[in-house]
């Protein structure tokens, strides 16, 4: 089998005395949509924060396409191919919808400060390409009509979609989605599932997503990892997870 896009080995992190994640092993392969689920406080978001180097792990290794990301910072990790959304939406509130997406292309289209100042052809052609790409992404999420709206004034569901568009703008190989359907109504969620599959196919990326909406998880994830108290509780296909005694117990509480 090919090297996985993402390989997590014995990952762990302590906050003071609290061990938030411990001994985690995970793999995400090309073209997969993987679910990461677990009760509140299980450590899911913390895993994302370690993958994007918002936090440095205390133990373990993270390999992206076989390359160790230990020495990278958040910016370098993004350049290496990981982009994410946030559980508590973090948009650039005062920028327009389209500028949020354009900001995501900061490293994709390059021109110098001199080009910027003297409005050279290079600046113009790059800005045109940025505009075109940004509109393409907005269309996927049906946000193109709102392109000049301030991001902070968008409805909740649209904000979540815009965050995904912005992450995609940085051309990741692995996309991390932290509760993408939170706050969406059933119809929006249904649409989102379509979009996630569409995005995976058109950009040929793999997606790791955290979600509490079991309908979404069971429908679009090919494999699922279950986290409980920072430890891996179970992994497997949606079918296996649905019928796993330990998982049911963890979710219902005992």
Partner 1 sequence: MKTIINELLHHRNRSRMLSFALIIGSYLIIEFLMHSIRISRLFTSMLVPCCCYIILALSLNLVVGFSGELSLGHAGFMAVGAFTAIIVSGLSAKMIPDPVIRLFISVLSGSILSGLTGLLISVPVLKLSGDYLAIVTLAFGQIIKSLITNIYLGFDSNGLQLSFVTNELNLEQGKMLLSGPMGATDTAKISNFSSGALLIVITLFVIYSLIDSKYGRAIMAARDDRIAAESIGIDILRSKTLAFVASSILAGAAGALYALNYSTLQPAKFDFNTSILALVYVVFGGLGNINGTIIATTVLYVLPELLRSLQDYRMLIYAIVLIIVMQLGSSVRLKRSMEKLKNRFSKKGVIR
Residue 107 binding result from partner 1, ligand ATP, Mg ion, none, given CB thresholds of 5 to 8 Å by partner type: partner 1
Q: By CB under 5 A, what part of segment 68-127 binds Mg ion?
A: 87
Separation of alpha carbons 65 and 7, rounded Å = 8
Task: Report the nearest approach of ligand ATP to the CB of residue 135 (Å).
Answer: 33
Task: Report the nearest approach of partner 1 to the CB of residue 198 (Å).
Answer: 21
Interface with ligand ATP, residue 56, by CB under 6 A: no
Q: Where is 209: in which H helix or E strand? A: strand 206-210
Contact 230, 44 (CB under 8 A): no
Task: Report the nearest approach of ligand ATP to the CB of residue 45 (Å).
Answer: 3
**Interacting stretch for ligand ATP, rule CB under 6 A, among 22-30, 42-50, 116-124, 243-251?**
42-50
Kindly list the strands in the beta sheet with 67-68, ordered across the sheet, starting from the edge strand earlier in the chain: 18-28, 6-15, 59-64, 67-68
Separation of alpha carbons 173 and 252, rounded Å = 35
Contact 251, 225 (CB under 8 A): no
- Which residues neighbour 118 within 8 Å (Cβ) at sequence distance 6 or greater? none
Query: Which letter does DSSP use for residue 216 in this model?
Result: H
Interface with ligand ATP, residue 52, by CB under 6 A: no
Interface with Mg ion, residue 45, by CB under 5 A: yes
Task: Report the nearest approach of partner 1 to the CB of residue 105 (Å).
Answer: 8
Residues that bind partner 1 (CB under 8 A): 52, 54, 73-75, 78-79, 83-84, 86, 90-95, 99-100, 102-107, 109, 111, 113, 116-117, 119, 123, 126-127, 130, 145-146, 148-149, 166-167, 169-170
Interface with ligand ATP, residue 20, by CB under 6 A: yes
- For residue 110, CA distances in Å to 33, 122, 130, 169 come to 31, 9, 10, 14
Interface with ligand ATP, residue 45, by CB under 6 A: yes
Residue 43 binding result from partner 1, ligand ATP, Mg ion, none, given CB thresholds of 5 to 8 Å by partner type: ligand ATP
Within 13 Å and on the Cβ side, how many CA atoms surround 80?
A: 21
Nearer to ligand ATP, 87 or 96 (CB): 87
DSSP SS3 for 130 = helix
| Contacts to ligand ATP by CB under 6 A | 15, 18, 20, 38, 40-46, 87
């Amino acid at each position: 089998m090919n090297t996985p896009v993402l390989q997590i080995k014995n990952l762990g992190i302590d906050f003071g005395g609290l061990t938030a994640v411990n001994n985690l092993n995970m793999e995400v392969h090309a073209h997969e949509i993987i679910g990461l689920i677990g009760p509140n406080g299980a450590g899911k978001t913390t895993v994302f924060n370690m993958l994007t180097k918002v936090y440095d792990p205390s133990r373990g290794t993270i390999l992206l396409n076989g390359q160790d990301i230990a020495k990278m910072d958040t910016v370098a990790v993004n350049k290496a191919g990981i982009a994410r959304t946030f559980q508590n939406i973090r948009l650039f509130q005062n920028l327009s919808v389209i500028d949020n997406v354009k900001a995501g292309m900061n490293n994709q289209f390059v021109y110098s400060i001199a080009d910027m100042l003297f409005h050279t052809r290079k600046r113009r052609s790059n800005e045109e390409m940025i505009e075109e790409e940004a509109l393409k992404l907005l269309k996927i999420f049906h946000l193109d009509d709102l392109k000049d709206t301030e991001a902070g004034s968008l409805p909740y569901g649209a904000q979540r979609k815009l965050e995904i568009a912005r992450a995609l703008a940085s051309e990741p190989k692995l996309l991390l989605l932290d509760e993408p359907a939170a706050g969406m109504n059933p119809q929006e969620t249904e649409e989102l599932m379509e979009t996630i599959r569409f995005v995976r196919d058109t950009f040929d990326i793999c997606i790791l997503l955290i979600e509490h909406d079991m309908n979404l998880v069971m429908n679009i994830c090919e494999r699922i990892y279950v986290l409980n108290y920072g430890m891996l509780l179970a992994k497997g296909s949606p079918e296996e997870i649905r019928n796993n005694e330990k998982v049911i117990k963890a979710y219902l509480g005992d």
